[in-house]
Homo-oligomer: A and B are copies of this chain.
Amino acid sequence: MARSVLKRPQKKRAGQYHHGDLRRALIDQALRTIDTNGVAALTLRGVAEALGVSRTALYRHFSDKQSLVAAVAREGFRTFRMALGAAWQEAGRGLPGLDAMGEAYLRFASGHPAHYRVMFGRFVESQARDPELLQEAEGAFQVLVDALLELQGEGHARRDDALLQARLVWSVVHGVAMLTIDGQLPPGEDGAAALGRYATDRIRAAIA
């Protein structure tokens, strides 16, 4: 039970309030559960218990379970957007920057498969009705669009509709990510890593 720190049963004396940012704590705990045991293992009761809070306290901050999951997904897109942007910058933009973004993307997906799945799998049916989630997702996508526009300007990418081009690149990387976290690739060097390299190479050819 060396990993019991993950549970964080944070028992506080009964009768006290959860002074502090309960909303934040709920999202963090939900994310921890999802990352560790998958979204199927997420129960509101479990989250509340881990925080030492009543089962219904959550409804002060989220209208229902889907809202909580949507918040977790939104958080994911935010992290995602920042990781992509950082990779692009640190690699010095240009084609190496594009490669670095691809790597960062796949690193996030394979490092947090359950979280990634929550972001892209329709666990949030209300996606259409959660404008903030949609906006955050578009923000992450926009990083790629901007990069491609810049590459087009420098003659590193063909001057197709940048939105369409970005959707294609996104599709490839998303597809690779899904195959990877679904365990549909051979383990080890021949699997995800090899496909990642090949995909990077062929994407360059496809947009050149």
Query: Which A residues fall within an 8 A CB radius of B?
Result: 38, 40, 117, 120-122, 125, 127-128, 137, 160-161, 164-165, 167-168, 170-176, 178-179, 181-185, 194-195, 198-199, 202-203, 205-207
CB-CB under 8 A from A178, the residues of chain B are: 120, 171, 174-175, 178
Per DSSP, are chain A's interface residues mostly helix, strand or loop, or mixed? helix
Closest chain B residue to A121 by CB distance?
A: B121
Q: In the complex the two chains form, is A127's CB within 8 Å of B195's CB?
A: no
Cβ-neighbour of A172 out of B117, B165, B168, B194 (below 8 A)? B168
Cβ-neighbour of A171 out of B125, B165, B175 (below 8 A)? B175
A184 to B167, CA, bound (A): 10
CB-CB under 8 A from A195, the residues of chain B are: 164, 167-168, 171
A198 to B51, CA, bound (A): 49
Give the 10 A-B CB pairs with smallest separation, nearest first.
A171-B175, A175-B175, A206-B206, A174-B175, A202-B206, A171-B176, A121-B121, A164-B198, A172-B172, A167-B195
Question: Chain B CB within 10 Å — which of A128, A164, A165, A174 has the most?
Answer: A174
A205 smallest CB distance to B (angstroms): 5
